[in-house]
Structure 1
Amino acid sequence: MRIAIAGGGLGGLTLARVLHLHGIHAQVYEREATRSARSQGGMLDLHAESGQQALAKAGLAGQFQSKARPEGEEHRILDPAGRILVHHIPKPGSFSGRPEIDRRALRDLLLDSLPGEAVAWQRRLVAATPRAGGGFGLTFDDGHSADCDVLIGADGARSVVRSLLTDAPLSYVGTSVALTISDVDRRYPDIAELVGPGNMWCVGVSQILSAQRLGDGSIRVGMSLGPTDRHVDTYRSKAGLLDIFAGWAPQVTALIAAGDGSPFVRRIETMPTDARWDPQAGVTLIGDAAHLMPPVGEGANQAMLDGAELAAELAANPADPDSAIRAYERAMFTRIQPIAEMSARIQAMMMSPTAADDLVRFFTPRTTEPAPAD
């Protein structure tokens, strides 16, 4: 059984790792040239019921704790005037919540757990063609080709493999812009103090300016903006971004001015929350390829759990991969729909005119009413 995984992100690598533990080889095809070819983004909080569970199935829970940054759970919510609305400080060293880990560190952890030949770099899939006798022929953008018996699309929002299963439309829900500030403690101590060791969100009307402290001493700055007809070039310059956030406190907009290089711009799109497909022999999807959701904290966690659960099904029934895929898809569809609906509600809340008040309520612990006296 030749298994091909299109995409070497967190979901695809988790799938390959759990299969490897069961003695099943899978070839991962990754479009990037090397593991360090581009930034992997900011921090990720791993949820006990999904991302952490997937790492446990991958035999990497202990290594995760050695690389995680539980202090990254500290978060601050500000208004555009720079006033602190919420300041949550986690218990020092506690892994009881959703400990943060740098995405690069997590990806490296998964890569290092696989044989060196498990990932074929610089292989961007451009076509997957069903073969007459079963399986698929794969074509890559550099002219290379390969064959497989089972194809798993872990190739993200613009999945090539998805078109073999569904034509579910993508909906534009906003725009994300990112910058990095390197060596922040030395270069910008005021910004380092503003952000702290974890996350900072400054929340306005249909726009959020956020920052995350990473383990390498840098800060990842993010801007979340609602749907708009602004030209994309507006987001590609710091001057254009500063215009968008005009009137906000200078200590907050300093995050934009201090960014290294040019902003990285990405359209945020989603699949329908009830998206699913009829089973097809030898092919399935995981992660964003299967259930593209707004980036509100569930995507990577669910992708990793997808990978771990699909690997477990394939390992339990290696003689009948189609039955294994059907069992995985049934469970995945049931699990994902309420999570996708919740993610859509959170995205709408974050982009609403009352986002600041809603987020304060969301992150403020509810007090327990005292019991009535006897």
Structure 2
Amino acid sequence: MNNITNKKIAIIGGGPGGLTLTRLLQQKGANVNVYERDTNEHVRVQGATLDLHHDSGLLALQEAGLMNAFKAAYRPGADRIRILDKAGTILFDDGFTASDDLFRPEIDRGPLRKLLLDSLQPNTVVWDSHLIGLTPSGNGWQLDFKNDTTAFADLVIGADGANSKIRPLITSIKPLYSGVTIVEGNVYDSETTVPAIHTLLNGGKIFALGDEKTLIVSSKGDGSLVFYTGSKTDEFWIHDHENAFSNREQALTWFQETFIGWDAAWLELIEKASFPLTIRPQYCMPLDQTWDTLPNLTMLGDAAHLMPPYAGEGVNMAMLDALELSNCLTNETFTDTQSAITTYENQMRLRASEIARITLEQTNSLHSSEAISNLLELFS
């Protein structure tokens, strides 16, 4: 008997972390449902491609028995990286191969979600389930959703991201602003819409750096690209600029003023993007965060340890959380759920704290006056 026998488990959020955990728990015979606010599985999945690391994301997929599905779905060549200056001069150009230490096989979020969903038992995911509240009920929880449905679970796991509804029930610790705000946009059918940048991308990623700013462009398997501008702003800059990014003319003016002196070719991204653009102030949980473990509630991924994306660790940490949590919950040496969760949370916080420290260093490095030499050194 392990700690999940005869327990009803609810996972809030159907991102890579939540779905990986669900697959791993179902392999061990758990009774588990995922509650996801998307209306169905065909909702377009936004965001750049994900590079999965051997000791975290790929390790979790291996344990989940999904490496063959991954090999069929990943995008060879998507890990190609070009580093450019603001004038568009290529300073570094490389494509990694499987034998290189830096090789990070990349997969789009949509195909990763699909292979995880396809691995689950039928009706595991309850779609259109936007959690609005969690109320103690006996030794478990009542879950209340926006569509007026309810559910019960003995154990609830928050995999519901940066604005987690679960986290405040576990700890009052808030994330800290990193000093950088991202503006994100998508350009569909990049080959015909932005041919010059499409050719430059070559199916991979571009890092353009200068003036303590970043412009990262990533190709996607559906023929679109996604771009992220990163610049130093105050924390509440978003409140004065929200409307600017639903209006193309205003967004173009903002880009020309903020990225003054950058080659005019970059403007094409804003000219051809679909609107509105998305503003993302970047936050990071404190490196020393701690809390008292609860017997029937825990969290993983961004809900537990939000961090900026500049080290490519977010999805990898979430999937490794899923692996470690599933191992703890199904380990028969733990006498109760609380001790299993305590062990998981202690090792998760320690690991995430170190990765967050590295991520903040990288965030600062990429938005410094030495950004180009720092990044070239990293790849040399």
| 8 Å CA contact retained: 1:41, 1:104 | no
Q: 1:336/1:351 Cα in 2 relative to 1: closer, same or farther (>3 Å)? A: same
Query: Please, which of 302, 323, 332 is the counterpart of residue 308 of structure 1?
Result: 323
Question: Over residues 198-236 of structure 1, what are the superposed CA-to-partner deviations in whole Å (9 max), with x where a residue is unaligned?
Answer: 000111223211111111111112212223354233344
| 8 Å CA contact retained: 2:183, 2:280 | yes
Q: State the 4+ residue runs in structure 1 displaced beyond 6 angstroms.
A: 92-96
Task: Give the match for residue 147 of structure 2.
Answer: 142
1:278 lines up with 2:284 in the alignment: no
- Counterpart-to-counterpart distance in 1, 2:67 and 2:11: 23
| 8 Å CA contact retained: 1:205, 1:353 | yes
Query: Please, which of 265, 269, 285 is the counterpart of residue 255 of structure 1?
Result: 269
Q: 1:63/1:144 Cα in 2 relative to 1: closer, same or farther (>3 Å)? A: same
Unaligned runs of 5+ in 1: 365-374
Q: Which amino acid aligns with 1:176?
A: I
| 8 Å CA contact retained: 2:255, 2:267 | no
Task: Give the match for residue 268 of structure 1.
Answer: 282
Task: Give the match for residue 14 of structure 1.
Answer: 20
| 8 Å CA contact retained: 1:76, 1:85 | yes
Task: Give the match for residue 162 of structure 1.
Answer: 167
SS in 2 for 1:197: coil
| 8 Å CA contact retained: 1:70, 1:94 | no
Task: Give the match for residue 378 of structure 2.
Answer: 362
1:232 lines up with 2:246 in the alignment: no
Shift of the alpha carbon at 1:40? 2.7
Shift of the alpha carbon at 1:56? 0.6
Question: Over residues 105-139 of structure 1, what are the superposed CA-to-partner deviations in whole Å (9 max), with x where a residue is unaligned?
Answer: 111111111123111111111221223x3111211
1:201 lines up with 2:207 in the alignment: yes
| 8 Å CA contact retained: 1:43, 1:212 | yes
Question: Over residues 45-69 of structure 1, what are the superposed CA-to-partner deviations in whole Å (9 max), with x where a residue is unaligned?
Answer: 0000000001011110121111112
Shift of the alpha carbon at 1:330? 2.2
TM-align CA RMSD: 2.0
Shift of the alpha carbon at 1:182? 1.6
Q: Which amino acid aligns with 1:247?
A: G
1:341 lines up with 2:347 in the alignment: no
Q: Which amino acid aligns with 2:168?
A: S
| 8 Å CA contact retained: 1:70, 1:95 | no
Q: Which amino acid aligns with 2:136?
A: P
- Counterpart-to-counterpart distance in 1, 2:99 and 2:357: 33
TM (normalized to structure 1)? 0.91
How many residue pairs align between the two structures? 363
1:295 lines up with 2:301 in the alignment: no
Task: Give the match for residue 9 of structure 2.
Answer: 3
Task: Give the match for residue 245 of structure 1.
Answer: 259
TM (normalized to structure 2)? 0.90
| 8 Å CA contact retained: 1:221, 1:256 | no
- Counterpart-to-counterpart distance in 1, 2:297 and 2:21: 14
Task: Give the match for residue 27 of structure 1.
Answer: 33
| 8 Å CA contact retained: 2:213, 2:230 | yes
The more displaced of 322-331 and 45-54 is: 322-331
SS in 2 for 1:201: strand
- Counterpart-to-counterpart distance in 2, 1:52 and 1:32: 25
Question: Over residues 17-41 of structure 1, what are the superposed CA-to-partner deviations in whole Å (9 max), with x where a residue is unaligned?
Answer: 0011111121111111122324331
Task: Give the match for residue 43 of structure 2.
Answer: 37
Shift of the alpha carbon at 1:72? 0.9
- Counterpart-to-counterpart distance in 1, 2:203 and 2:100: 15
Task: Give the match for residue 350 of structure 1.
Answer: 366
Question: Over residues 138-196 of structure 1, what are the superposed CA-to-partner deviations in whole Å (9 max), with x where a residue is unaligned?
Answer: 11122222111101011111111111111112222222222222222233321211211
- Counterpart-to-counterpart distance in 1, 2:89 and 2:22: 46
Unaligned runs of 5+ in 2: 1-6
